[in-house]
Structure 1
């Protein structure tokens, strides 16, 4: 899918001039300019992603009347139908209304056809404390039909069966029951939701099936099944790879929170303000057959054995990531619902990866040459757990520009946890080569990434093409983050990035949309001067 986004601002092709709002020119302005009803200082990021030119992100003073509820929002869309090209009564399903600590209110809708949500899409309307609409963003789908052609002939169970058949895995292999300190737990998560699947403006009634399991291999399968005939529309395994006291991987001593039960200490942390726990287990290099693994125990509350080093770091850094999100943003675990943070170390044999697999973390030991124990890097742990945060907030699709943003935001939050340098994974990558790393936010070309849109890599949206270059093109927003931190400082950058990820960004956000989300977040939090500094950071990498 080709994304054609253009940033229109006072410095470029469109300025919503005051004359468009004058009484005398109102009628002709509406005929010639779909944005005629919004105010003069508004900025619109146009998208032609879904057959029709509509805003993917509009910000500024967008309304002349205050908005205070769902009904008012729908009235706003009707008054601006030439701009947004959507019937809010037929095509938008209200999800929630939230007011944040700044007094801003955020209305979330899902684009729908016949009350069935269009998958991986969201529309958001944001108002200030007085009810003025200051931003609208998301996926509007102006070309969506009023009805889908298909009828629902499959049940959720039928769709699950088709999905298992598609991936060639026997469900019994993945559905293992293990005993934990909290009771018996399944290693499998299954979900099947009726949605409308869109590809190249073809809208199909489908089931979105999610299969998350650890054996016979780590998987976070996202599969779309035609609800009428059972054919597979799309499938992708979205495992996100990151190419007492205890002793960590690098030989340092750490204090770790443990749990004492029946004369035994466990790497099991119940000290955090959450419903769940932080638990760390050992796969014993058993791979798929031994997940989530075995509890790591000691009788003396000292975890200093060689084999325990990877577990100590995974446990300690998971706690630090929890603390970072909780202390800085009030977020309670990766889903903000206080769910367990489960980590499994010593996964597989010579496994050169760490991954969030949709419901837990796994860490390989590396092959000793390319990587050592991957849990030994706090930025790697933060990177992977940020994928979990993204999964439950913006939901950035793992392909093309949204996928590159998914990777970039994980890198950026990895830096926020480890701001001593601009490198990612340097503590565990090529252990016998000092100063080496996976990526650099300050100098992406050092590790083969572009740092400007002039060098954007148009790679195929296939596994071989890294789903449109998600690990390659992430260098561009990474460099923008580097400029942002230097422009506004670390503390402000942390708040701006978190707000953009959790408030403004949506599943199909492009680089231009991310720029707009970050600029708007800066404006919300710190005012126009900081917003201009963020905009300048993205200008530096050719994103407008």
Structure 2
């Protein structure tokens, strides 16, 4: 869909001397953005579906929207709040900029508009689709469903996330440590755009879509929530390894190294820029993640990321023992466990329940030696 014009609203706010200066400045910026967006809409009117397919494999279906500076009217008065869309079920998708039928956004002269974010988005969606196809799944819903994403979410404190039924990408973000990036403007080549468009980030977030169609994991038990994040981490890593054709021994095993503000890195005394690692804490100076049950930390505000390093490390340990391409062994076992009907039962949605399922499927798929390797990996992190 295309957003409706709100020019008159922004004009009223921008010219109302009784309103705070920050609000008027924000309205003026949105007014300019709207004018530019209208040009794009007019230039692309009627082009949808009329161009020769440029992406896709006949099965892979997607739509990508750009939100630019478009925001719901009422967000102007919520400027600076933590939640960019208060009271909204989820944000509007924005302006269509590319789809798998061949449409791609063009300027007034008919030239394809270059956008590194859009290009990286297509690459990530396709890589995730292909990884799951290799595991036997037909898109996120296992029914060949279209994958929808909105890029350029206009909020400085948003990275990337899955909400309800689609993917959202922000041009700013908070680090994996929880600190806001200190005043960094996005660059054209995304080198200062954090990790929102990284392959493993996209794979992670789209996996939440897969989880919502399989085990769900929406109960309020902390281990279920933690498994939600861990499974997304594991498949995010697999997407990166699949797309880059990396063997276990060649992967960095870091989730979204991306770009972190140097000032933040130095202030924390970190030696490497990364979000979460599958490896042992000793491999990363300052890594606060738990890697076994005896290191379990009480999550602040029930943050499910706090202890996802425990099942992540089991995944890593098993993968290293097998070697080669991880999607050929642990990827298959974890996917089989995720999609097992038994994992939908709340009493099974905990570390031990999931661990037992991965062991069972490793044995069923590859035999007793594989089952023993996976069981040993879970024992290493003190789950089994």
Measured against the shorter chain, the TM-score band is 0.5 to 0.7
Residue 254 of structure 2 is aligned to residue 423 of structure 1? yes
Match of 2:106 among 289, 298, 305: 298
User: Separation in 2 of the partners of 1:397 and 1:280?
Assistant: 27
Tell whether the 8 Å contact from 1:424 to 1:440 is kept in structure 2 after alignment.
Answer: yes
Aligned residue number for residue 38 of structure 2: none
Cα distance, 1:264 vs structure 2 = 7.5
1 CA distance for matches of 2:198 and 2:262?
A: 12
2:116 match: 309
Equivalent residue, structure 2, for 1:457: 297
**Given that residues 152 and 169 in structure 2 are in contact (C-alpha distance below 8 angstroms), is that contact kept between their aligned partners in structure 1?**
yes
In structure 1, what is the Cα distance between the partners aligned to 2:112 and 2:372?
A: 49
Aligned to 1:282: 66
SS of the aligned residue for 2:329 comes to helix
C-alpha separation in 1, matches of 2:96 and 2:224: 37
The Cα shift of 1:458 comes to 3.2
The Cα shift of 1:488 comes to: 2.1
Query: How far apart are 1:301 and its partner, in Å?
Result: 9.1
Q: Shift in Å at residue 389 of structure 1?
A: 0.4
1:473 aligns with 2:259: no
Answering whether residue 174 of structure 2 is matched by residue 336 of structure 1, we say: no
Structure 2 partner of 1:526: 366
Corresponding residue number in structure 2 for 1:394: 215
* Structure 2 residue 142 is the aligned partner of structure 1 residue 320: no
Q: What SS does the aligned partner of 1:279 have?
A: strand
Q: Where do residues 190-205 of structure 1 align in structure 2 (5 Å cutoff)?
A: none
Q: Deviations over 1:33-55 (max 9, x none)?
A: xxxxxxxxxxxxxxxxxxxxxxx
- Counting only pairs closer than 5 Å after superposition, residues 498-513 of structure 1 correspond to structure 2 as 498-503=335-340, 504-506=342-344, 508=346, 509-513=349-353
Gaps of 5+ in 2: 4-45, 74-90, 98-104, 174-180, 185-191, 242-250, 266-270
Aligned pairs, how many? 277
The 3 A distance-change label for structure 1 pair 539 and 348 is same
Aligned-pair CA distance for 1:319: 1.2
The match for 1:486 among 315, 320, 324 is 320
Measured in 2, the distance between the counterparts of 1:412 and 1:449 equals 15
- Report deviation, 1:428: 4.0
User: Partner of 1:228 in structure 2?
Assistant: none
- CA, structure 1 residues 298+288, in 2 after alignment: closer, same or farther (shift >3 Å)? same
Aligned pairs (5 A) from 1:263-278: 271-273=57-59, 277-278=61-62
Bigger radius of gyration among the two: 1
Whole-Å separation in 2 of the counterparts to 1:262 and 1:475: 44
Please state which structure has a larger fraction of its residues in helix: 2
- Give me the whole-angstrom Cα distance separating, in 2, the residues matched to 1:437 and 1:264: 42
Given that 1:310 and 1:375 are in contact with CA atoms closer than 8 Å, whether structure 2 keeps it comes out as no
How is 1:205-224 mapped onto 2 (pairs within 5 angstroms)? none
- Which residue does 1:384 correspond to in 2? 205
- CA deviations 1:376-424 (Å, max 9, x no partner) are 2000000000010011011113540011111001101111112331111
2:111, 2:261 → 1: CA distance? 29
Q: Answer yes or no: is the 8 Å Cα contact 1:407–1:470 preserved in 2.
A: yes
Change beyond 3 A, Cα 1:493–1:179: same
TM-score (norm 1): 0.47
Which residue of structure 2 aligns with residue 360 of structure 1? Answer: 166
Q: By how many angstroms is 1:265 displaced?
A: 6.0
Q: Residues 515 and 316 (structure 1 numbering): CA distance in 2 closer, same or farther, change over 3 Å?
A: same
Say if 1:431 and 1:495 are closer, same or farther in 2 by CA, change over 3 A: farther
- Over 3 Å counting, the alpha-carbon distance change for 1:343 and 1:373 in structure 2 is farther
* 2-structure distance, mates of 1:303, 1:317: 20
Tell me by how many angstroms 1:542 deviates.
0.7
User: Residue 429 and residue 288 in structure 1: after superposition, are their counterparts in 2 closer, same or farther (change >3 A)?
Assistant: farther
